[in-house]
Chain A
Amino acid sequence: MSEAKETYETIAGCKTQMLRGGKGEPLLFLHGGGGAGVWLPFFQTLSEKYDVIVPEHPGFGRSDTPDWLDNVGDYANFYLEFINKFGLNGVNLVGTSLGGWIAADLAVRDQSRLKTLTLVAPAGIHVNGVPKGDLFLWTPEQSVRNLFADQALAEKVLAMKPDEEERRRKMKNALMLAKVGWQPRLYDPNLRKWLHRIAKPTLVLWGDSDKVIPPAYGPAYRDLIPGAKLEVLKNCGHLPHVEKAAEAAALIGKFIAESK
């Protein structure tokens, strides 16, 4: 049973959809380019130990699109305001893909309210000679297939027929991902120069079969953040929190428990 509560909060002038469930230390989850809005089993598992907060980024899904939104830096500042508004302290920040990029950027700007940082297949850097998948040129079917290592799972997703509203939300998400990530493609050349500032315990999590951001980015990210740990999940694509939800939740739970 879902224990999450859905609310709409206005932050930096933007009406933002938010799911929140569980009790414990705050765990703020920043979603990837596909959007959020659904309470996943991954969140449910984590909510047994943590106060899990899942906002939908401005410009995505059911959240409004503010005039000020141009780039990932705007998101990083937005979530600093978000943390402030809710009076969160000792935040376990978890970001995946686009959300991982936002989380890393946020931590470079101000990590004072963070306890730990978990980056799940984060965008945000580029490794020369290792191209990312061109998700803007993939057909919808290719995108789904390339997101998962387990093609049976891809088939299940492909069999789902979104209604009109859901299709519109998907278009909205794609537009916003393009807006902040088209060029340079899913990274900020300035971010890698300052990742060494991150002084909080950091876990980098990657799927070994990620076709969106190849696994070679894992060690690169780990090496840019002092003391960061890398875990690679076997037979897993770009969405470890969906494809290997139990394993990913367990790894993150263990990492947070061991972090002081």
Chain B
Amino acid sequence: MKFFMIHLMPYADIDLDYDKKHNSAWVTLPNAYFDPKKGPALYNRYIDELAYAETVGFDGVCVNEHHQNAYGLMPIPGVIAGALARETKKVKIAVLGRALPLLTYPLSVAEEYAMLDNISGGRLIAGFVRGIGAEYHSTGVNPAESHDRFHEAHDLIMQAWTKPGPSRYEGKYYHFDYVNTWPRVVQQPHPPIWIPSQGSSETINWASHPTRKYVYLQTFSPADQLKRFMDMYRAKASEYGYEASPQQLGWATPVYVADTDEQAKREAKVHIEAFYNKFLRMPFEMLIPPGYLSLSSMAAVGEKARAAAAGASTTTIESVMERGMFICGSPDSVAQQLEHHQKTVGYGKLIAMMQFGTLPHELTKRNMELFASKVMPKIRHLGEDDRPIKVEAAE
């Protein structure tokens, strides 16, 4: 198992009563809620926490991209990744943005990632996403073009990294006569590529294709969804004629460890509930604008997502633990839960969110320490090799 720590860098100082006046922490929440006096300490605290992941023994750190919200303060994740490239020496640095369709000049991602790969000495993991629906309200980019722009921008970036320049790219949304990226990436032919997703058959078909075999990350989803999409990836891979390895499958989830189950739950409660109820809060129309999903996906998940968005503000620690959306407890019980999911789901990369919502610095640090010293050793041997494993059948 490879262990990564992801940070969302939430605006933890937010007035949690904001939702008495506003229906979302995204897009339309007035930025007057952000206190400029608190920004510097918060950013530097978060960067320290990510750097500390290397000290305690994580294999990598992850940053991500979201715009105009209190949920995550990394609209330009490369800024944090750049700081981490210097703050750390060994860990992989995964940028789980960039949201490619939002850009009119996606070659900037080829450039930015190549710079990060150089500065970090070849430690970059390149993430490509579409961004969630809210991004399309914030940036004005047309959600109905999102899929096509994503695929074109991806092809363009891969061309920039792997085809000797200058070359030409002729797409519908992007057209460049001179694709000639300087600097070149250190990792040849290109850095590892990860595709985070909330789960979509279209994304899985594409990521698992034999020409790509990209690492697929299921993010913040109930355990049954996790199982469904990981199985889908494996099934698709065997359809393509190969067996997917655990190292192609990652799971991103919030994790909290304390000495006992009872203590962990008591300490995490307000913070994880704030994460789900306050920071993730947004109406359905913001989350899934028309065109963001294909008509068939929209018909399939639309109503479920609408119901989920409506229920988002009433999440409890019990409900998220029960659904496998929060792994919380003593070192033993956290290891046990992760092992259980590993055996049923077959993931080989754990993307653990060690800070969530309003969780303060001291608890975050202790969480990381306990996880690294008492949980990792128990489960590191699982899903470690690249050989495919047979997962246990669903219950």
Contacts and interface: CB of A to CB of B under 8 A. Distances in A.
A138 B285 contact: yes
A183 B101 CA distance: 14
A152 interface: no
Tier of interface size on chain A: 10 to 19
Given A137-B137, A172-B295, A175-B298, A182 B285 contact: no
Given A137-B137, A182-B291, A175 B286 contact: no
B142 interface: yes
A182 B143 contact: yes
Interface of B is mostly: helix
B137 A136 contact: yes
Interface in B283-305: 283-286, 289-291, 295, 298-299, 302
A138 B295 CA distance: 20
Contacts of A178: 142-144, 289-291
A182 B146 CA distance: 12
B137 A175 contact: no
B283 to A, nearest CB: 7
B291 A171 contact: no
Contacts, number: 51
Given A137-B285, A171-B298, A179 B137 contact: no
A138 B289 CA distance: 10
Nearest to B141: A183
B302 A183 contact: no
B36 interface: no
A143 B137 CA distance: 17
B295 A175 contact: yes
A182 B149 CA distance: 15
B140 interface: yes
Given A175-B295, A175-B298, A137 B144 contact: no
Contact of A136 (B141, B289, B298): B289
A236 interface: no
A182 B144 contact: yes
A136 B143 CA distance: 11
Contact of A171 (B27, B284, B290): B290
Contacts of A139: 283-285
B272 to A, nearest CB: 27
A162 to B, nearest CB: 13
A177 interface: yes
Contacts of A168: 295, 299
A178 B289 CA distance: 8
Contacts of A183: 140-142
A131 to B, nearest CB: 13
Interface in A148-193: 168, 171-172, 174-175, 177-179, 182-183, 185
A138 B141 CA distance: 18
A177 B140 contact: no
A246 B298 CA distance: 37
B302 A171 contact: yes
Contacts of A137: 27-28, 137, 283, 285-286
A66 to B, nearest CB: 15
Nearest to B284: A139
5 contacts: A137-B28, A139-B283, A174-B291, A175-B291, A179-B144
A-B interface, 3 closest residue pairs, ranked by CB to CB distance from nearest? A174-B290, A179-B144, A178-B291
Interface of A: 136-139, 168, 171-172, 174-175, 177-179, 182-183, 185
Given A137-B27, A175-B144, A178-B142, 17 more contacts: A136-B285, A136-B290, A137-B28, A137-B285, A137-B286, A139-B284, A168-B295, A168-B299, A171-B298, A171-B299, A174-B291, A177-B290, A182-B140, A182-B289, A183-B141, A183-B142, A185-B140
